Amino acid sequence: MRYNFSDKWPQKIELSGFTMVPNILIAHQADLGITSSEFAIIVGLLMHGWTKGSSRPSVGTLSRYNGQADKTIRAHLLEIENKGLIKRHFQDGAPSVYDFDPMTFRLETYPQFRFSPAQKQAPPYSKSSRQPYSEISTKEEAIKKTEIKRRNGRSGKPTAIGDILHSKGWP
């Protein structure tokens, strides 16, 4: 059975367009060494890569999508390229063209598995990922971390100015 975008999302959202991202890329982003910020940039690049005749996104466009500075976007693009996932082709006076063939080649080396709404299938764990904790140990671990933070005065909660002054000996 095939599913369409409109099976999941209202038509009003579908009319704004959508970007196809392979499930294998999502499932193996950690194996590929892709950070969350880099993944957001890759999706931004893919958003512009499917329409014939459309320009490739500029660094400024990617910056507006992610809310990051142009300098940060350039650094992430360089890192994605250094990881061997894309190849940038620079053009004078125009946004770069991005070649995803290196990423496609890498993704083809991973075991293929399919996701569908009818099947709830978890991606395989990579060697670098942690094994999931049981619910009990997770709660116990969280309690211990909270106790340590409180003991060290770094609970993350704001402290009233009166409490700070009182602890320093002020009336």
Look at residue 84 in the predicted model and tell me its pLDDT: 93
In sequence order, what DSSP letters do the residues of 37-61 get, joined into one string?
A: HHHHHHHHHHHHSSSTTPPPPPHHH
In sequence order, what DSSP letters do the residues of 79-116 get, joined into one string?
A: HHHHTTS-EEEEETTEEEEEE-HHHHHHHHTSPP---B
**How many beta carbons lie within 10 A of that of residue 78, not counting itself?**
11
**What is the C-alpha to C-alpha distance for residues 39 and 80, in angstroms, rounded to an integer?**
9
Look at residue 155 in the predicted model and tell me its pLDDT: 54
Q: What is the dotted CATH code of the domain comprising 5-108? A: 1.10.10.10
pLDDT tens-digit profile, the chain (171 residues): 677 888 888 888 888 888 888 889 998 999 999 999 999 999 999 888 765 545 588 899 999 998 999 999 999 999 999 999 999 888 888 888 888 889 989 998 887 765 554 444 444 444 444 444 444 456 666 666 666 666 666 555 555 666 666 666 665
CA-nearest of 5, 25, 26, 2 to 17 is: 5
Look at residue 157 in the predicted model and tell me its pLDDT: 57
Domain range annotation of the chain: 5-108, 135-167
